Structures are given as C-alpha cells and as structure tokens.
Homo-oligomer: A and B are copies of this chain.
C-alpha cells in the first residue's frame, strides 16, 4: 500500500481527509468558541492574497471601500420582511452592555439594552440606511461601495472554512438610477468572481442564476458560481444579487432623477468569503496534503537548506539567504514572489514533508552536492514527490514565473478534466435517481421550474438545483419529472 502524508485518504473518507489536510497544512483550527475558527498564518496568508487581488479589481471597476458597524438594531433588520425571515434563525444577539459580579462572585450580564443589537449576518440594512441619507440626486449615483469585514451566522453544524459561525468576507453594496445598470453591475461582479476563481484559484466554475427557492432573502435575482469538489459535490463559491427596488423601498433609498421626479434606486449586493479557501483545498488537495495554485499561494516557493554535515551549514545557509533575496525580486503575476527559507534544524525528510503538506508549488532543495555541482534540485508540488529537476540558479531566476504558470495551468486543467468527466446529461427520472444513488458529480437535466420537484429531490436525494447556467447553448427540452417543456438544462447536485 502506498504511504500517504494524510490519513485517511480522499477515497477512504473525504470529509475527514479535508479536516486532516487543514490540520497538517496548519491552515486553521477550531477555537474554544463553538463554530468559530482560528485562521493560522498559513491560511490567513491565502485570505490576504484573496483580499489584495479582488480589492484591486473592485477599485479598478470604480468601487470604494468603507466600514459600517458590526451591530444592527433589531428594528432595522425587520424592515425587509423576507430578509429578516431568512436570517432570524441564525442571529447572535447582544442584549447587555456590561458584566457585574453575580452570585458566588461569578460575572453575569448587566445593563440590558433598550433595543437588542444583532451582530451583522450581512449589512444590507445598515448600509441601505446610510445610502438613504447619502443619496439625494441622480448625481449621487451610481454609489459603489465595498467593505471587508467579519459577519456572524449562527450555525449548528460547522466545518472549517466552509461553514463557520463567524467568517470573513467582502460585501459589495451598490445603488443605481436604472434597473438596467443595477442588473449589469450584479453580472459584472459575478464575472469578476468567476475570472478570479478560474484564473487565480484554478477552480473551473459554472456560473448561473439561483432558482427562486435558493435566492438571497429579499433579492430579485441571485447569481452564483458553483465549483465541483473531488467528492462530486457542489460548492456555492460566491454570489451576486440584483435586489431590484425591494430594499430601496423598505429603506427609502430615493433620488431626484434628471426630470426632477423622486424615484427609488435599484440596488445590488455581492460577496465572497473565507469559504473560497475551503473550496481551493477540496479541489486541488491530494493524499499528501494541500496543493496551492501558485497565483494565490501563501508562498510560491520555499528554499530548503538540507544540511547533512554540520561544518557545511553556514556555507549552505549563506547561499540560501542570497538566493532568497534574488528570488524575492522576481515579479510573478501582479506582485513580487513570496519565498520562504526554512532554516529550522530538522531532519531533511521531516523538513521536506512539512512543505509538501503545506502545498508550496516549488521547493528548492539545497545541500552540499547542489553547491558543488552548481545545480539546484527543484521539486514541484503538482508532480510526484520523487520527481526532481536539476536547474542552475540562472535558469531558475529567469524562468520561475513561467514554471509557476505551468503549474497553475496544470492544476486548472486537472480540475477541469475531473469536473467535465463528472457532469452527465440525464433525460429520465430513472437515470437521474440512478446517478445520484451511485455516482458522484453534477447532472445536467431539464427542469420546468416547479418548486415541488425541487422539494422532492432535496428530500429524497439531498439534491438541489445548483444553478440555471448563464452561458452555454440553451436548447429546449422536456422536464423528466413533470413532462412539461423546459427552456434549458439546469445543474443538479448534492452540495456543501
């Protein structure tokens, strides 16, 4: 049996494999607070990279960052009926503003608030309130805002990165003078997300619209991009909502139009979260641990001084430090390379494996032999761990950006091949049930829009409509469940 760095393997127990990868790669762990995670430096660096890259895209498309309060007064949350209904069951509620000594000297909450405050599960109701103050005229539109923040949705069953009570995200909120503009904004942000997922996270996604039952509470249309994990389940990786005038009417976001009439603005909101990290782990990870796409990696390369003779240590370290300096001056994608140098006194095997598990794209191993021969030993995380290349320093420095891009492309190609080979077109109810009882993957099938079908499939198979795809040919057909005519196929899957 092949020995792997992670136990169990993906095929033995995929959910447990996922937890173990997070552990061995030191990405995150559960905190003492139920459902809240601690994001460790190697995991947080991924979030910093996500932030930096997306933040640039948001600013390039005219959005400005701001910061809105953590707390939302209960009465504000109630303004949009569907919205509050959607979040009421998972709200952390602040009811007191101090602690005093109670019986036996233990502290107890005191100073009850006149109105309870909800820890934001999302900020439509707070940001909309400010928009209603800030927007007076069509000259104030479009108003394009974003915030990077923490939000809380009380979850009973949590899983690191994928579903946690507190998570980090960005939430964009925009207001427009016309329906057309707001719809275009929601679609534009979806496209930015999709481009980011495919080109930075190396995750192929299907973009589409959610059915009515899966819409964001209060939205007119919710756009999503769905990725396939290695167990064939779907992950909703992020969403962009066209909110119509639902929120602007609930919150009185009005403006004077060019003709001098008062009108309600059209709004959108859109967000991605630390969940993206969970998706990346599940799409690219293997039985030896994490595999990081170079364009988002916490570090693109690690230099491993392998010291077998103590007297050679300083010579090897000196060379490695100089190489690190040189590599850090190389630009890759939009930023300088991030390079680690592991100077720990560890056995070579232990040192090498710690970085395999952490998923660094390129390892540069340097011992006395490399110095004497003038060639570095290069190992790549997307190859087998006994697969080495010899490169001169000159070659490495000149071509590392291209080599990283080749790794990036390879990871995307592998993920896409896996995804494509696990999507099946199905045209009968029997074949649909047969697929989900024994196969892992997505089904592309017709559906005439009946919510009863969604309920039945969810109940009997735990399968939902992931999205009504936006791209691709829209050939009409017949819903296998109702016999009604359907305008296009939709994507069905089990999901996270």
- In the complex, the answer to whether A31 meets B89 with C-beta atoms within 8 Å is no
The answer to whether A65 touches B93 (Cβ under 8 A) is no
- How many residues does chain A have at the interface if contact means C-beta atoms less than 8 Å apart? 63
**Chain A 141-159 residues near chain B, CB threshold 8 A:** 145, 149-150, 152, 154
The CA of A112 and the CA of B75, in the complex, are separated in Å by: 20
Candidates B93, B117, B166; contact of A70 at CB < 8 Å: B166
Interface residues of A in 25-78 (CB under 8 A from B): 29, 31-33, 36-41, 44-45, 47-48, 64-74, 76-78
Within 8 Å by CB of A117, from B92, B108, B145, lies: B92
Knowing A93-B97, A98-B154, A99-B91, the reply to whether A73 touches B33 (Cβ < 8 A) is yes
User: What is the CB-to-nearest-CB distance from A391 to chain B, in angstroms, rounded to a whole number?
Assistant: 28
Give the chain B neighbours of A118 by CB distance below 8 A: 99
Are B107 and A99 touching (Cβ within 8 A)? no
- Taking CB atoms and an 8 Å cut-off, the chain A residues in 77-94 that contact chain B are 77-78, 84, 88-94
Q: Which residue of B lies closest to A129 (CB)?
A: B32
Which parts of A1-46 form the interface with B (CB within 8 Å)?
29, 31-33, 36-41, 44-45
* Cβ of A96 under 8 Å from chain B: yes
A48 to chain B: which residues have CB within 8 Å? Answer: 65
Q: Using known A-B contacts A93-B94, A107-B78, determine if residue A69 contacts B99 with beta carbons closer than 8 Å.
A: no
**CA distance in complex: A91, B94 (Å):** 10
State A130–B44 Cα separation when bound (angstroms): 16
Residue of B whose beta carbon sits closest to that of A37: B69
* Closest beta carbon of chain B to A72's beta carbon, Å: 7
Total copies of this chain within the assembly: 2
Q: Tell me, rounded to whole Å, the shortest Cβ–Cβ distance linking A127 to chain B.
A: 9
Residues of B within 8 A of A129 (CB): 31-32
Contact in complex: A66, B38 (CB < 8 Å): yes
Given A72-B33, A116-B109, A154-B98, CB of A67 within 8 Å of CB of B91: no
Q: Are A99 and B88 in contact (CB under 8 A)?
A: yes
- A127's nearest neighbour on chain B, judged by CB, is B38
CB distance from A430 to the nearest CB of B (A): 41
Bound CA–CA A66/B48 (angstroms): 10
- Residue numbers in B under 8 Å from A111 (CB-CB): 154
Whether B95 contacts A109 by the Cβ 8 Å rule is yes
Q: Which of B67, B119, B150 interacts with A94 by CB under 8 Å?
A: B119
Per-position 1/0 for A365-385, Cβ under 8 A of B: 000000000000000000000
Chain B residues near A78: list those with CB within 8 A: 106-107
Q: A130 CA to B66 CA in the complex, in Å?
A: 31
Does chain B have a CB within 8 A of A126? yes
Query: A33, B117: Cβ atoms under 8 Å?
Result: yes
Q: Which residues of B contact A453 (CB under 8 A)?
A: none
Can you offer 15 A-B residue contacts whose CB atoms are under 8 A? A31-B130, A41-B64, A41-B66, A69-B166, A70-B150, A70-B166, A74-B99, A88-B107, A89-B99, A91-B99, A92-B96, A93-B94, A93-B95, A119-B119, A139-B344
Q: Which residues of A contact B (CB under 8 A)?
A: 29, 31-33, 36-41, 44-45, 47-48, 64-74, 76-78, 84, 88-100, 106-109, 111, 116-119, 126, 129-130, 139, 145, 149-150, 152, 154, 166, 168, 344
Other A-B pairs beyond A70-B166, A88-B98, 13, CB < 8 Å: A31-B69, A32-B73, A33-B126, A36-B69, A38-B67, A47-B67, A71-B92, A77-B99, A93-B98, A94-B94, A95-B109, A108-B116, A149-B150
